Structure 1
Amino acid sequence: MTAPVTAAVVGGGTMGAGIAHVLLAAGSRVTVAEADAARASAAREAVARSLRKAEDRGKLDATAESLLARLSIVDTLAALPPAAELVVEAVPEDLSLKRRVLGEVAATCARAVLASNTSSLSITALAAGPAAERVVGMHFFNPVPVQQLVEIVTHEGLPASTLATVRGYAEALGKTVIEVRDSPGFATSRLGVAVGLEAIRMLEEGVASAADIDAGMRLGYGWPMGPLRLTDLVGLDVRLSIAEHLARELGDRFTPPDLLRNKVARGELGRKTGQGFFTWS
């Protein structure tokens, strides 16, 4: 199957810009929606920077500038293309916000598959509305242009035809798909957070240094990146929010360690602030 001819991404942050990048590279015409003009401008620059970096590394089949010619940036959901075949929302992990966005997009883009890039929120809850048969989880991984995996999350009201369509779109982007039934944390976040929280507890207890804990997982288990460095990359605030959600849904084993809470309270959020479990330049 080919990539969607016309696609949209709601949210132009790190994940949204990466998703726009891979859609453009696969041949789609892409519209990115942000909340205001300033964020829209930042989103355009993020997509452009990502594409130019890929071009410099020989990872594109076309020039970055030719792909950017198919990118539109808007600052209202009403300006999304009505003919869009796929809309991916990549807004912050807030259930009410995501439901509002999906509801507005469903009315504007009446044909589109409505995919949520959530890493932990219930797809069943997100699909609770008039367009439930078009809502699906489409969990990309950071950095989107590099990571091969897309986790497709189903729910009981998802038709087989919609599932087949979104799987085809993901594979057309060069991704490998796993299918997961809607469950707290799905497969990847649930396992990733469990290991990440235990690594933080080990650091908190003085079992080993952050560098040595990560080296143990890289060299002993073949992880490309240790769990603490990965937490820095994801964002300690994001990891904390997911852990709190999983603790509510699955129990105390996902209760966030005090070390994680304290770092977030101090603004040590990882790479994006320059300090997390490691110092970033």
Structure 2
Amino acid sequence: MEQISVIGGGTMGNGIAQVFGANGFNVKLVETSKELAEKAVATIDKNLSRMVKKEKIGETEKNDALKRIETATDIADGVKYADLVIEAIPENFDLKKKVFATVDEYAPDDVILASNTSSISITKLAECTTRPERFIGMHFFNPVPVMTLVEVINGLKTDESVTTQILDLSEKLGKSAVPANDSPGFVSNRVLMPMINEAIFCVYEGVAKPENIDSIMKLGMAHPMGPLRLADFIGLDVCLDILKVLYDGFKDPKYRPCPLLIQMVDAGKLGDKTGEGFFSY
């Protein structure tokens, strides 16, 4: 496996492209415009420069990684020579369905198709293509160059050989690959999001202030980051989207999004990305 195509150059997409480029793979990073593609590469350059400054890599390694990353603004052009295509666009099923329909049309027959989705059914996404047996979930964690976990999600029809290849590939990236089967929220967000949601309910019901809730979880439970600070970092809109997937998937009221979370997203208070969430940045 040599040629990797990454669809989407946002926070997750550029991080995925960086990791592959830094580990010797040729990458085609696909964005919707030249400007967005250039912005993604600029972010990768900045992140690699930070690693050089910290003496984690050398200047030559940085330049070699950047040379391996090319950009495209057309999916057909971006995937035509791919061994693996990883979709990393926003958590919207209809958008992903449209992207995979195009990828399916233009990618080689033996390509492996993967989604970086954090909650949407891999089985459902796989059925948007003509090759569900070659479809899998590769759920990276933010920031991708730092976080070691890759949650590898098998769809109902995913071929065992595809799973083996993706587990091996993840290890070559220096990641710890952990397999799971398809279920709403998989393992990570099925466990994490109810905790974040419950912390938001504590604010909503006046149990404690956000900083106190986070302090209790950090000091008492040894969490490196409090649940409300983590929610801001992830993006409150993303948290809401995932909770909706859990609620719709299980029809269980324990996944009901807190009204305060819905209100904050409606008000545009999304966390780090907007400068204000449960905390100000």
Q: TM tier, shorter chain?
A: over 0.9
Read off the aligned partner of 2:27 and give its amino acid letter.
V
Query: Which of 69, 72, 82 is equivalent to 2:70?
Result: 72
Give the corresponding residue for 1:60: 57
CA distance in structure 1 between the aligned counterparts of 2:106 and 2:53, rounded to whole angstroms:
37
Give the corresponding residue for 2:90: 92
Query: Equivalent residue of 2:272, what SS?
Result: coil
Does 2:39 correspond to 1:42?
A: yes
1:17: how far off? 0.6
Give the corresponding residue for 2:265: 264
Give the corresponding residue for 2:119: 120
CA distance in structure 2 between the aligned counterparts of 1:73 and 1:53, rounded to whole angstroms:
22
1:81: how far off? 4.5
CA distance in structure 2 between the aligned counterparts of 1:121 and 1:208, rounded to whole angstroms:
32
More displaced 10-residue stretch of structure 1: 55-64 or 122-131: 55-64
Does 2:239 correspond to 1:239?
A: yes
Does 2:9 correspond to 1:8?
A: no
Q: How does 1:12-27 map to 2 (within 5 A)?
A: 12-27=9-24
Does 2:148 correspond to 1:151?
A: no
CA distance in structure 2 between the aligned counterparts of 1:10 and 1:232, rounded to whole angstroms:
25
CA distance in structure 1 between the aligned counterparts of 2:104 and 2:223, rounded to whole angstroms:
39
Query: Equivalent residue of 1:171, what SS?
Result: helix
Read off the aligned partner of 2:101 and give its amino acid letter.
G
1:106: how far off? 2.5
More displaced 10-residue stretch of structure 1: 36-45 or 184-193: 36-45
Give the corresponding residue for 1:279: 280
Read off the aligned partner of 2:115 and give its amino acid letter.
S
Give the corresponding residue for 1:191: 191
In angstroms, what is the RMSD of aligned CA positions? Answer: 1.3
Read off the aligned partner of 1:166 and give its amino acid letter.
I
More displaced 10-residue stretch of structure 1: 127-136 or 190-199: 127-136
Read off the aligned partner of 2:275 and give its amino acid letter.
G
Q: Is the 1:80–1:108 Cα contact (8 Å) retained in structure 2?
A: no
Deviations 1:100-125 (A, max 9, x none): 21222223221321110000000000
Read off the aligned partner of 1:156 and give its amino acid letter.
L
CA distance in structure 1 between the aligned counterparts of 2:13 and 2:25, rounded to whole angstroms:
15
CA distance in structure 2 between the aligned counterparts of 1:21 and 1:220, rounded to whole angstroms:
36
Query: Equivalent residue of 1:272, what SS?
Result: helix
Count of paired positions: 277
CA distance in structure 1 between the aligned counterparts of 2:201 and 2:124, rounded to whole angstroms:
31
Query: Equivalent residue of 1:73, what SS?
Result: strand
More displaced 10-residue stretch of structure 1: 196-205 or 102-111: 102-111
Read off the aligned partner of 2:90 and give its amino acid letter.
P
Q: Is the 2:76–2:107 Cα contact (8 Å) retained in structure 1?
A: no
1:96: how far off? 1.8
CA distance in structure 2 between the aligned counterparts of 1:56 and 1:243, rounded to whole angstroms:
39
CA distance in structure 2 between the aligned counterparts of 1:108 and 1:55, rounded to whole angstroms:
37
Read off the aligned partner of 2:248 and give its amino acid letter.
R
1:5: how far off? 1.7
Read off the aligned partner of 1:16 and give its amino acid letter.
G
Structure 2 CA distance for partners of 1:117 and 1:157, relative to 1, 3 Å: same
Deviations 1:212-269 (A, max 9, x none): 2112222222211111111001100111111112111122111111111111111110
CA distance in structure 2 between the aligned counterparts of 1:73 and 1:222, rounded to whole angstroms:
41
Query: Equivalent residue of 1:217, what SS?
Result: helix
Q: Is the 1:9–1:31 Cα contact (8 Å) retained in structure 2?
A: yes
Structure 1 moving runs of 4+ over 6 Å? none
1:63: how far off? 3.1
Give the corresponding residue for 2:228: 228
Deviations 1:122-168 (A, max 9, x none): 00000003111111000000000111110011022111110001111
More displaced 10-residue stretch of structure 1: 11-20 or 34-43: 34-43
| Percent identity (aligned) | 40
Read off the aligned partner of 1:201 and give its amino acid letter.
F
5+ residue gaps, structure 1:
none
5+ residue gaps, structure 2:
none
CA distance in structure 2 between the aligned counterparts of 1:230 and 1:190, rounded to whole angstroms:
15
Does 2:29 correspond to 1:32?
A: yes
CA distance in structure 2 between the aligned counterparts of 1:188 and 1:81, rounded to whole angstroms:
29
